[in-house]
Amino acid sequence: MMSASKPDILWSPHHADRFVVCDSELSLYRIGPAGASEAKGGALQLSEETAATLLAVNSDTPYMKCVAWYPKSEPECLLAVGQANGRVVLTGLGQSHGSKGKDLTGKEFVPKHARQCNTLAWNPADSNWLAAGLDKHRADFSVLIWDVGGRHPPEAMQAEKPRLSGDADPCAAATKPLYELGQNDACLSLCWLPRDHPKLLLAGMHRNLAIFDLRNTSQKTFVNTKAVQGVAVDPHFPERVASFFEGQVAIWDLRRFEKPVFTLPEQAKPLTKAAWCPTRTGLLATLTRDANVVRLYDMQHAPAGPVGSDESEPTVIERGVQPGGDVVISSFAWHPSTQNRMVVVAPNRSMCDFTVFERVSLAWSSSTDLVWACGRHLYECAEDAGDVAAEKDVATKMRERARSRYGHDTVQVWRNHLLAGGNDPQIRSLWYTLHFMQQYTEETEQRQQGNKQSLIYSGIKNIVKSCSGTTESRRRWKGSERTADATQYHGEERGLALRLCGWIGRGPDVDVEPFLRSLEQEGEWERAASVALFNLDIRRSIQILQKGAQAEKGDPNLNVVAMALSGYTDEKNSLWREMCGSLRLQLKKPYLCSMFAFLTSEAGAYDGVLYESRVAVRDRVAFACMFLNDNQLSRYVDKLTDEMKEAGNLEGILLTGLTKDGVDLMESYVDHTGDVQTASFCMLRGSSPEVVKDARVQCWIENYRDLLDAWRFWHKRAEFDIHRSKLDPSSKPLAQVFVSCNFCGKSISFGCSAAPHQGRGFGQYGVGGSPAKSKVTSCPGCRKPLPRCALCLMNMGTPASSRAGAGKSDEKADLPREKKLAQFNNWFTWCHNCRHGGHAGHTLSWFRDHSECPVSACTCKCMQLDTTGNLVPSDNI
C-alpha cells in the first residue's frame, strides 16, 4: 500500500489552523502557538512558534488513494476519500456530526468496475459535484462526476448494497454518476478550472491533457503530452496550468493549448507534487521523490498574458527551501490564507511548519546600518552602540576614535592610545614608540645635533645597523659579589634604542628605576620584575613580585615565584637549574617564563626570551640590545622586523620607524585590519617627505578622508586636513573662489595672494576679509561700489546689523550662537543659481521663513537647490 509510507497533507479550506495528514488513516490536527498554556503533552512542535494538537483520527476508510476536502464550510471536516477499488467515500472527522453533515457523511460512490481511484476534485462553484479520476478498465469511463447532494434512485442503492463488504454500513452508496467521461482511457490527475468556468474540467489522461466541457460532453479539447500528472491551475492566472511527468514540469497556457509555454529545468528524480502558492502570484512549489528540498519556481515575470511572440522571455527564478534540514519530505501543503506558509510532512509523519521568505535584498549604509527588503517589507537593523562586550567592528572603532579626537594629541603623543580606547596593545605600543621618538627628536633639536636627526623616526633597525663603539662588560648582580654570566653590551646607539623602547628615560644616567616604578603603578608586576631581572637586579625583582602578591588585584602566586627566584644559583648542574629549565615551559605568564629562561640559559643564547612572542616587542628588543653582540643583534632585529611586517603588527614600528620599511609594515596592517585612520595619523607624525609622498600613504589618507566625509564627520575631516597641512604643507589646497568686480574685472579680495582658505562647501561661498578691512565698500581696484545686499540694500562691505531681519523668540535662544556667527554674518554670500545675494546673516534669516529668493520677481528656491547643503554634519556635538 503506497499511502502507508507516503503521508500526504491537506489544509482545511476554512479553518486556518486545521489540517489533515493522511496515510493509512486520517488525522486531524489543530495548529497553534507553541508553549501556550493549553499546550499538552500531546502537542507536536512544528516550528519555534507553532505546535500541532491531534484533534481526531479516522481509520474508517482503508486503502486510501486520494483525499479531497469538501469546499463548503458546513459541514466542517468533511472529506472525500478515493480508495484502491475506485470507491469514493465521504467521511467526517472529529466532533462535527452536526445536523447538516449527517446526510453527507458516510455516502459512498462506486464505479461499475473496481479499479484504483487516482484523483478527486470538488467543483469549486457547485460543491455538490465531485470528480473522480480512475484507472483504465477496458472501454469503461475513467472520469466520473458524482452529485453528492443528489437523490439517488433507490433501486441503484439496493443493487449495490450486497457488494458492501460485510460491515453493516447503513449509508447510501451510489453507482450512477452525473457525468461519465474519458471512455477507454485512464485518468491520472484532475482539476476544475476556476470559478468563471464552472463547467470545465482539466484532466491528465493516459497520453494527453484534456479539457472536458460539461455543458457539452461531446466537446473535448486535448493535447498530446506525457506531462499528465499533477495538473494544477494557477489560482491567480486561471489560464496558467502546471503539469508534470517524471522530472519535468510543463507550464501551459489554456488559450494556446498546443504546446507548453515553457518547461522548467529537469529534475534528476521523478516529481511527486506540484502546487501553486495560493497567496502569492506565480509561485509554484514542486517536490521530487526522496528529496529534502522543496523547489520553488518564481514565475512572476514569465509571460502570463498572450504568448507566442518570440520576444517573450520567460524569467523563472529557481529557489530551494529545506524546511527540515536533511529530513526527507513526503509531501507539503500551502496554507490557504497565510502568505507563503506551508506545512511539510516527512515519511515518519513528523511535520514542520514554516514560511517561505521572499528573496531578501540588503545593503549596508556608510554608518553600519543594515537595511533589507523581504517581500513588501523593509527592515532596518542598526548597530547598538551601547554594547560593550562584543568586539566592535573597525568601522565603529574608527568612528568612535574620530569623535574622541584620536591622533590629534601632538604634545603628549602617547595619550593617543587612550583616545583610541586604551585597550589595543598594538596601538598602545605604536603611540608610545612615536612618543619616545618625538621626545628624542625634540631633545636633539635642543642640543642642535643635526647629525642624529636622521636616525630618529627611522627605527631601531637602522639604529643598530650603525652601531659602533660597542663596549662589553661583565656586570655583577646588584647587591651581590658574584659576577653574572651574562655579558652586557653598551654603546651610544644601544642606549638610544633602549630609550626608544622606553626602558630608560632622558638624561645621561641609564637608570631603569623610573620605568620600573611606572610599571608597578600600572600593576604590570611580572613585566616589571623581568625588566628588573634583565637589569641584573634580582633583589629588586623579588621585591616587585612580593609587592605584586600583596597588591589589591595582585596574584598571590607571585610570592611563590619570588621564592623560586631567590633560590637562583649560577651553579651549572644544580637541581634548581634543571627544574626551572623544564618547569618554566608550563608557566602561563610569558614574562615569568622569560625570566626563568634568562636565568637558566647559557650566556649568549637567549632564544627563550627573544622568541617568546607573547612578550612585548619593545621588551624583547631592549633585552636584545643589552645582551646580544653586534652581529647577533642585527640579525635578530632583521628577523623580527620581517616577522612584524608579515603580520602587520604595529609593535614593529619600533623597529622600522616611519621609513619605507614602516610603510611596508603599515600596508600589511591595513591589509589585515582596514584601519586607515591609525595608518594616516601615524604616517603624518614625523615621516620624511618621501615617505608621506608614497602612493600608499596618500591612498590611506584619501580613503580616511572619504570615510569621514561619508560619515558626515566634516568637521573632523577639516580638522584632519588642518592637522595634515601642519605636517605636510604641500597638502594645503589653493583658494577656490575669487570675486571679481563688475566694472574692472579684478578680484576684490584684499591681497588675494594670501586669500584665506574658504572650505569646500558647494552651496555658499564667502569672501574673506578681516573685519577691519571690511569697511571698504568699494572695489579696491576701480573704487566703484560693491553690489548691495538684497535684504538691507547696503553695499557689501558694510557690517551687517546682527539684529536685522530676524526678531521673534528663536532669536534669543540663538544668542550665544549668533555671537559666534557675528563675523560670518558680514560675509558676502550669494546663490550661484540666480546670483542674488547679500550678507550671510541676512540671507540665512530670510530663508528661515521663506523658500524663494528675496529679490522681487525671482522665484529661485535658493536654499533647496543643494541637498547636500541641507545635510547636517553628524560630528558637531
Site for other proteins in 378-397 (CB under 8 A): 378-384, 386-387, 389-391, 393-395
Q: What angle do CA 753, 754, 756 make, to 5 degrees?
A: 125
Contact 494, 505 (CB under 8 A): no
Beta-bridged to residue 66, according to DSSP, are 82
Rounded Cα gap, residues 44 and 349, in angstroms: 11
Task: Between 399 and 839, name the residue whose CB sits nearer to other proteins.
Answer: 399
Asked whether position 707 contacts other proteins by CB under 8 A, the answer is: yes
* Greatest C-alpha distance within the chain: 130
Asked whether position 851 contacts other proteins by CB under 8 A, the answer is: yes
Selected from 138, 376, 553, 808, the binder of other proteins by CB under 8 A is 376
Contact 494, 515 (CB under 8 A): no
Task: Between 430 and 679, name the residue whose CB sits nearer to other proteins.
Answer: 679
Site for other proteins in 397-426 (CB under 8 A): 398
Task: Between 186 and 708, name the residue whose CB sits nearer to other proteins.
Answer: 708
| Cα atoms found within 13 Å of the Cα of residue 45, Cβ hemisphere only | 5
Site for other proteins in 328-347 (CB under 8 A): 337-341
All three cell numbers of 51, joined, read 505546535
The window from 400-408, 521-529, 602-610, 691-699 that contacts other proteins (CB under 8 A) reads 691-699
Task: Between 216 and 868, name the residue whose CB sits nearer to other proteins.
Answer: 868
Asked whether position 186 contacts other proteins by CB under 8 A, the answer is: no
Site for other proteins in 270-329 (CB under 8 A): 279-280, 293, 300-301, 313, 315, 318-322, 325
Task: Between 19 and 440, name the residue whose CB sits nearer to other proteins.
Answer: 19
All three cell numbers of 275, joined, read 502546487
What is the edge-to-edge ordering of all strands in the sheet holding 187-192? 187-192, 200-205, 208-213, 220-224
CB of 648 to other proteins, least distance (A): 8
CB of 341 to other proteins, least distance (A): 7
Asked whether position 646 contacts other proteins by CB under 8 A, the answer is: no
Asked whether position 38 contacts other proteins by CB under 8 A, the answer is: no
Q: What Å distances lie between residue 24 and 2, 81, 82, 176, 636, CA to CA?
A: 9, 11, 12, 28, 80
Grid look-up 629588586 returns 540
Asked whether position 467 contacts other proteins by CB under 8 A, the answer is: no
Residues 6+ apart with CB under 8 A from 629: 470, 472, 487, 489, 604
CB of 845 to other proteins, least distance (A): 18
Selected from 147, 358, 513, 612, the binder of other proteins by CB under 8 A is 358
Which stretches of 420-571 are assigned E, i.e. beta strand? 471-476, 483-490
Q: What Å distances lie between residue 410 and 348, 405, 435, 710, CA to CA?
A: 72, 11, 9, 26
Q: What Å distances lie between residue 339 and 137, 294, 319, 334, 637, CA to CA?
A: 42, 17, 17, 9, 67
CB of 66 to other proteins, least distance (A): 30
Q: What Å distances lie between residue 391 and 361, 370, 395, CA to CA?
A: 26, 18, 12
Grid look-up 456530526 returns 97
Task: Between 219 and 315, name the residue whose CB sits nearer to other proteins.
Answer: 315
Task: Report helix, strand or coil for 354.
Answer: strand
Asked whether position 370 contacts other proteins by CB under 8 A, the answer is: yes
CB of 651 to other proteins, least distance (A): 14
Asked whether position 684 contacts other proteins by CB under 8 A, the answer is: no
Task: Between 367 and 758, name the residue whose CB sits nearer to other proteins.
Answer: 367
DSSP state of 795: B
Grid look-up 600583596 returns 550
Task: Between 355 and 688, name the residue whose CB sits nearer to other proteins.
Answer: 355
The window from 79-87, 366-374, 443-451, 618-626 that contacts other proteins (CB under 8 A) reads 366-374
Residues 6+ apart with CB under 8 A from 571: 577
Phi, psi of 152 (to 5 degrees): -95, 150
Asked whether position 670 contacts other proteins by CB under 8 A, the answer is: yes
Site for other proteins in 710-769 (CB under 8 A): 710-712
CB of 107 to other proteins, least distance (A): 36
Selected from 45, 47, 53, 248, the binder of other proteins by CB under 8 A is 47
CB of 665 to other proteins, least distance (A): 13
Asked whether position 487 contacts other proteins by CB under 8 A, the answer is: no
Q: What Å distances lie between residue 436 and 432, 459, 501, 660, CA to CA?
A: 6, 11, 8, 20
Asked whether position 702 contacts other proteins by CB under 8 A, the answer is: yes
Asked whether position 366 contacts other proteins by CB under 8 A, the answer is: yes
Asked whether position 472 contacts other proteins by CB under 8 A, the answer is: no
The window from 132-140, 212-220, 514-522, 857-865 that contacts other proteins (CB under 8 A) reads 857-865
The window from 33-41, 55-63, 490-498, 532-540 that contacts other proteins (CB under 8 A) reads 33-41
Task: Return contacts of 360-368, CB within 8 angstroms, 24+ apart.
Answer: 366/707, 366/710, 366/711, 367/399, 367/711, 367/874, 368/393, 368/395, 368/396
- Give the x-and-dash track for 49-88 against other proteins (CB under 8 A): xx--------------------------------------
Site for other proteins in 254-273 (CB under 8 A): 265
